[in-house]
């Protein structure tokens, strides 16, 4: 996309000699290589871009810790409150009901508020959602607090990706997207073991309090340092000479595309089905993995909480590897469809085969290994599909497009945790129930991967949906 903007406009961008003369600079920021000296195609400082991306990643780590804590404290909750596996699964699934609903509000929030205030509001709501269970423990309070948490977390993924993409040109968005998607892995690797130690040593209430405190600390840091990036405009409008106008950005040069065309594009539809099926696996891991390791495979509570990180370590490594490779090869002219559709879809197929084999494995350590590797191959889908779908819509519509895309994704989390709880309660043994649930998840994800391989093509859909954008890949 070729745009014209005044040199040096916007925070964190390098001033140039033409700025004094007010001369416009035209740059194709989808294809121009990053200039030397630490500045990007639109003059933004790359150190600033990556520093703010790191802050966004830290919020997403808190986000996933808020989700994962239910799995970590599930057993002591069941013992103290007398809950069944199906009830815990119901809470996990209903969380994703409001999470799905909340996702549809990402575009509206982006229009009503700037990213600075919308994200700090969401972060504080997450912190508040941790507190009721500390004061008054009960099934009803647990259910209501998780419903509220889901509603507040729903819009966050689309807004976080929009904020990150605002600081990175389109051809280089897979890596920041991988870091955001990898926040789940970081949370399980670094935060889940810590929450497990807190739960075992001090009780599950202190685990919830720790997450609430972390959210409030992040909000202060965010308000202090955030600045909007040059590649995506905020949807927030402001008054200029008495007229409501959108806040300016180089991204405003491209006209909008009708929403219905974006949502009916084959890449959007099949991509949404694929990430939904993989997110079903993620939600089951978040809700049930420690219980599977403990009740199904015979490990202790502390061992189970520590091994919670194993699938995430594999997932994070494969996400970063595939994303860095994707960005580098696309900037050199490789096919975005191969790198952002075919590669992750094949990864999901590999995951499906491994999960299908799980019920036939009896050795606990082999089960852990197969589940970890299968989860890792499936997790590649998130940053690559997010980047592919974001490319099919004009920059100003990124938040709304990703909001709907990720809300559909969350439907997988709505069904899978409860279904897993029902399967486990009905099975002869917990190990058999969990293995069967993972097998079903693998089969469903494999079918969706085949659909994406056949129908998804971001280059084709971008040509059709964005006729005014310069195609660079």
> Tokens standing for 287?
């809700």
| Tokens representing residue 398 in the block | 């990124």
CA–chain centroid gap for 221, Å, is 21
6, 19 in Cβ contact below 8 A?
A: yes
**Cα–Cα distance for residue pair 97/82, rounded to 1 Å:** 24
Please state at what angle helix 398-426 crosses helix 85-103, rounded to 10 degrees. 170
Task: Determine the pLDDT at residue 349.
Answer: 97
Q: Which helix (H) or strand (E) holds 245?
A: strand 243-246
Q: Write out residues in the chain with pLDDT < 70, as ranges.
A: 1-37, 39-43, 233-253, 469-473
| Distance in angstroms (rounded) separating the CA atoms of residues 394 and 469 | 8
Model pLDDT, residue 18:
38
Predicted local distance difference test score (pLDDT) of residue 464? 92
Per-residue pLDDT, 193:
82
pLDDT of residue 286: 76
Question: What is the per-residue pLDDT for 234?
Answer: 57
Cross-strand pairs, 45: 39
Region of residue 240 (left: phi > 0; alpha: psi -120 to 50; beta: else): beta
**Exposure string over 456-465, b if 16+ CB within 10 A, otherwise e:** bbbbebbeeb
Residue 222's pLDDT is what? 92
- The pTM score is 0.72
For residue 397, what is the DSSP state? G
> Which pLDDT score is estimated for 21?
35
Q: Is the dihedral of CA 184, 190, 193, 199 positive or negative?
A: negative
């Amino acid at each position: 996309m070729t745009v014209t903007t005044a040199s040096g406009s916007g925070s964190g961008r390098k001033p140039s000699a033409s700025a004094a003369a007010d001369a416009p600079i035209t740059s194709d920021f989808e294809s121009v290589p990053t200039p030397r000296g630490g500045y990007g195609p639109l003059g933004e400082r790359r150190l600033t871009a990556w520093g703010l991306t790191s802050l966004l990643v830290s919020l997403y780590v808190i986000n996933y810790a808020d989700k994962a804590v239910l799995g970590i404290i599930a057993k002591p909750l069941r013992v103290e409150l007398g809950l069944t596996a199906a009830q815990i699964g119901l809470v996990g699934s209903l969380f994703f009901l409001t999470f799905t609903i909340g996702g549809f509000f990402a575009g509206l929030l982006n229009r009503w508020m700037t990213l600075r205030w919308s994200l700090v509001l969401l972060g504080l709501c997450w912190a508040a959602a941790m507190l009721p269970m500390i004061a008054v423990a009960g099934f009803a309070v647990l259910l209501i607090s998780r419903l509220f948490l889901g509603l507040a977390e729903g819009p966050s993924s689309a807004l976080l990706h929009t904020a990150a993409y605002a600081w990175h040109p389109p051809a280089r968005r897979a890596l920041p997207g991988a870091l955001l998607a990898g926040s789940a892995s970081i949370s399980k690797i670094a935060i889940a073991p810590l929450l497990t130690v807190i739960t075992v040593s001090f009780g599950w209430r202190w685990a919830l309090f720790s997450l609430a405190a972390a959210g409030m600390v992040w909000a202060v840091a965010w308000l202090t340092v955030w600045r909007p990036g040059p590649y995506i405009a905020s949807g927030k409008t402001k008054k200029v000479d008495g007229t409501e106008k959108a806040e300016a950005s180089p991204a405003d040069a491209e006209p909008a595309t009708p929403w219905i065309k974006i949502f009916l594009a084959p890449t959007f539809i099949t991509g949404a089905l694929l990430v939904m099926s993989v997110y079903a696996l993620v939600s089951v891991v978040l809700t049930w993995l420690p219980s599977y390791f403990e009740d199904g495979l015979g490990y202790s509570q502390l061992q189970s909480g520590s091994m919670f990180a194993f699938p995430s370590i594999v997932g994070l490594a494969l996400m970063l590897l595939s994303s860095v490779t994707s960005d580098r090869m696309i900037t050199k002219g490789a096919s975005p469809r191969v790198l952002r559709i075919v590669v992750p879809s094949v990864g999901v197929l590999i995951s499906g085969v491994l999960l299908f084999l799980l019920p036939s494995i009896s050795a606990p350590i082999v089960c852990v290994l197969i589940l970890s590797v299968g989860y890792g191959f499936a997790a590649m889908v998130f940053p690559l599909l997010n980047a592919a779908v974001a490319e099919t819509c004009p920059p100003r519509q990124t938040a709304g497009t990703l909001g709907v895309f990720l809300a559909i994704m969350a439907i997988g989390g709505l069904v899978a945790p409860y279904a897993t709880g029902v399967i486990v309660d009905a099975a002869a043994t917990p190990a058999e129930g969990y293995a069967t649930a993972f097998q079903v998840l693998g089969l469903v994800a494999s079918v969706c991967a085949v659909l994406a391989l056949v129908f998804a093509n971001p280059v084709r859909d971008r040509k059709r949906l964005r006729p005014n954008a310069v195609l660079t890949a």
